[in-house]
A and B are shown apart, each in its own frame.
Chain A
Amino acid sequence: MRAAASDLPLMFVEASIVAREVTILDRVTLTVTSGAPTILIGPNGSGKTTLLRAAVGLTPLSNGRITWGGRNTEMPSKSAIMFQRPTMLRRTAAANVRYALAAANVPRGQREEQAAELLALVGLGELGSRPARRLSGGEQQRLALARALARDPAVLFLDEPTASLDPYSTKAIEDIVLAVSARGVKVVMSTHDIGQAKRLAGDVVLLHRGRLIESTRAPEFFVTPHTEEARKFIAGELLV
């Protein structure tokens, strides 16, 4: 589904999250528009996960605001998020997807068919009747992706989806992400893997210690980064 004109741009305006005197997000101002994937990069603890969670309303802001398509909505209606370590429901793979479809108010009669399609899309077509918790790591990640796509999102948030996967599974996920993006779904994904960012990015957003350091289109970011931190990060130096 193409991102409706009313959902994007997603804007963070001076978004801050402070918890127990620790600043997790520090006045982040960012605009996400439709098009190629937006990749969030940065060292661990830079706030990537928190930014994604804030976007879908899982973590409330302490200050600032998030707007969708210019409106002040807290909980976006057509977005989905996939976590770094997704939790499988204690049921079969297909049942997991059917559950996500039901939660997205898909009529009962259509769920089985759509679940089969989604499973096929993520390459789990043969594994529908296996208990989800007995799938491999890569398979579980793909199932989580199928669950997220079940919501027919306009914007798909992914939190380091391939961080714990082998290269084969990583490629599988990346292929799906690109396919989904090509179909008009806006992808916002975090990663600490520079290579992955290079492979997937339309826009690159660099975070460090909760602050937005730089937000640039992909080829330019990697060749001529604007900030010192970006240059160091790309060169593989540790940002402290």
Chain B
Amino acid sequence: MTGDMTALQLVLTGDPGLFAIVRLSLLISMSAVLLAALVGVPVGALLALTRFRGREVPIVILNALMGLPPVVVGLAIFLLLSRSGPLGSWGILFTPQAMVIAQTVLVAPIIAALTRQTIEDLWIEYRDELAAMDVGPGRRIVTLIWDARFSLVTALLAGFGRAAAEVGAIIIVGGNIEGFTRTMTTAIALETSKGDLPLAVGLGLILIFIVILINAMAWAMRHAGERYAG
């Protein structure tokens, strides 16, 4: 992929280098969101439904973690995964796997916090009826998560937006290796510093397009939720 062609030409000719970068970006962010959901949704739901002393503490911490600076997360994971670090034997520094891990750490608190809020609000609404119908704790969690699914998917989309847009964490743990760990955001950072602005702008436009698409999906999701379930 040369920077001599304009960004538009690259997109229109289906330049494989460009699309490899876009594909990698989507793959990494989507994987991170899925993993983060696997962790975040149950944690959020449990936090919403259990009562124990000092419950406000984990809730406040979770909300604070939503604002974790990506570079700090990147640095922390870098230190963990470096060969000279505690998890060095895994040998996954400078690989896409490390990038997925970093983004999962960034996104999981968002999903957990939003899940907690959503489930807690719905629980307050459903509590009496579910108790009246003699619904046990297992079925209760499933019902709440299912009935709140549109809001939860919106939370996942928010997480994806965060992951797709960040560069600080993945550039540190991924190393921005060409053809291997270079994503849209890291490529933009690189091409900008090289002065290849048309290419950087082109990637930026694609990225913005994706972000808009995500937001449109979130809106459609809320709309569908209202239409379907009232």
A and B, direct touch (CB closer than 8 Å): yes
A interface list, Cβ under 8 A from B: 56, 58, 75, 80-83, 86-91, 99-100, 103-104, 131-134, 147-148, 151
20 more contacts with CB within 8 A, not counting A90-B147, A99-B133, A104-B133, are A58-B128, A75-B134, A81-B132, A83-B129, A87-B125, A87-B128, A87-B129, A88-B230, A89-B126, A89-B147, A90-B229, A90-B230, A100-B133, A103-B135, A103-B139, A131-B230, A132-B230, A133-B229, A133-B230, A134-B230
Task: Determine if B126 and A91 form an interchain contact, defined as CB atoms under 8 angstroms apart.
Answer: no
B interface list, Cβ under 8 A from A: 125-126, 128-129, 131-135, 139, 143, 147-148, 225, 227-230
A82 to B132 alpha-carbon distance, docked (Å): 8
**Residues of B contacting A103 in the complex (Cβ-Cβ under 8 angstroms):** 133-135, 139
Min CB distance B141 to A, Å, is 14
**Residues of A contacting B230 in the complex (Cβ-Cβ under 8 angstroms):** 88, 90, 131-134
**Residues of A contacting B143 in the complex (Cβ-Cβ under 8 angstroms):** 89, 99
**Residues of B contacting A147 in the complex (Cβ-Cβ under 8 angstroms):** 129, 133
Task: Determine if A83 and B132 form an interchain contact, defined as CB atoms under 8 angstroms apart.
Answer: yes
Q: A131-B230, A133-B230 in contact; A151/B147 too (CB < 8 A)? A: no
Min CB distance A234 to B, Å, is 31
**Residues of A contacting B148 in the complex (Cβ-Cβ under 8 angstroms):** 90
A80 to B129 alpha-carbon distance, docked (Å): 10
Q: A90-B147, A103-B139 in contact; A80/B132 too (CB < 8 A)? A: yes
**Residues of B contacting A56 in the complex (Cβ-Cβ under 8 angstroms):** 132
**Residues of B contacting A58 in the complex (Cβ-Cβ under 8 angstroms):** 128, 131-132
- Cross-chain pairs A/B with CB under 8 angstroms, 14 sampled: A58-B128, A83-B129, A86-B129, A87-B129, A90-B225, A99-B133, A100-B133, A103-B133, A103-B134, A103-B135, A131-B227, A133-B229, A133-B230, A151-B134
A131 to B226 alpha-carbon distance, docked (Å): 9
Please report whether the interface of chain B is mostly helix, strand, loop or mixed according to DSSP. Answer: helix
**Residues of A contacting B131 in the complex (Cβ-Cβ under 8 angstroms):** 58
Task: Determine if A131 and B132 form an interchain contact, defined as CB atoms under 8 angstroms apart.
Answer: no
**Residues of B contacting A75 in the complex (Cβ-Cβ under 8 angstroms):** 134
**Residues of B contacting A83 in the complex (Cβ-Cβ under 8 angstroms):** 128-129, 132
A82 to B225 alpha-carbon distance, docked (Å): 26
A195 to B174 alpha-carbon distance, docked (Å): 76
CB-based nearest A residue for B132: A81
A89 to B228 alpha-carbon distance, docked (Å): 12
Min CB distance A96 to B, Å, is 9
**Residues of A contacting B229 in the complex (Cβ-Cβ under 8 angstroms):** 90-91, 131, 133
**Residues of A contacting B228 in the complex (Cβ-Cβ under 8 angstroms):** 131
CB-based nearest B residue for A147: B133
Min CB distance A54 to B, Å, is 13
**Residues of B contacting A87 in the complex (Cβ-Cβ under 8 angstroms):** 125-126, 128-129
Min CB distance B156 to A, Å, is 18
A103 to B128 alpha-carbon distance, docked (Å): 14
